[in-house]
């Protein structure tokens, strides 16, 4: 950063951008291309004067210099930074033998295969349930339509009575 020889305000802005880029990259575990795109967006926001959305802190030449500096310093060692600053995830694994699970199951839940229904029986059961659901939906739609019609008739009656002198 000192090789860029920026004034204090520009150096502060640059450090903030680099810090935000680094924190975002390590917290979200971003790939290098997504991290670099986020860095470019932040740098662009600080290079264009559009208050309140962005401030024109850096010129185009300074922006190019900063991009080259970040590529040569931070992004050259990106994987190292990711490894060093990313929290480790510890996993606890427990091994269970499959027979331990089967033996503890309730035998009432496990019916013999000879008692199982055939595929045709299952399809008939599913189609019957589907037919019942469709019938219930049709009856509900008819009831809603009847209620809407009764409401419309009542409203028309009220308007008629109000209109008759």
Tell me the per-residue pLDDT of 45-64, one tens digit each, with 9 for 90 and over.
888 888 777 778 888 899 99
CB 4 within 8 A of CB 69: yes
* Separation CA 161–CA 165 (nearest Å): 8
pLDDT at 22 over 90: yes
pTM: 0.52
Alpha-helical (H) ranges within the chain are 8-28, 32-45, 60-73, 78-85, 98-104, 119-163
**Most confident among 47-56, 135-144, 153-162 (mean pLDDT):** 135-144
**In the chain, what is the greatest distance between 2 CA atoms, to the nearest angstrom?**
93
Tell me the per-residue pLDDT of 96-132, one tens digit each, with 9 for 90 and over.
777 666 655 566 666 777 888 889 999 999 999 999 9
* Separation CA 69–CA 6 (nearest Å): 13
């Amino acid at each position: 950063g000192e090789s860029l020889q920026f004034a204090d305000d520009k150096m502060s802005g640059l450090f903030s951008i680099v810090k935000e880029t680094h924190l975002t990259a390590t917290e979200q575990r971003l790939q290098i291309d997504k991290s670099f795109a986020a860095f470019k967006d932040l740098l662009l926001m600080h290079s264009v004067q559009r208050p309140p959305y962005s401030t024109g802190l850096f010129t185009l030449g300074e922006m190019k210099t900063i991009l080259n500096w970040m590529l040569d310093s931070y992004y050259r060692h990106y994987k190292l930074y990711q490894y060093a600053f990313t929290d480790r995830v510890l996993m606890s694994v427990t091994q269970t033998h499959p027979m331990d699970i089967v033996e503890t199951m309730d035998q009432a839940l496990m019916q013999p295969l000879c008692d199982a229904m055939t595929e045709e029986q299952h399809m008939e059961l599913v189609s019957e349930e589907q037919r019942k659901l469709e019938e219930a939906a049709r009856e509900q739609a008819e009831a809603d339509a009847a209620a809407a019609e009764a409401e419309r008739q009542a409203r028309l009656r009220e308007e008629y009575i109000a209109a008759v002198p």
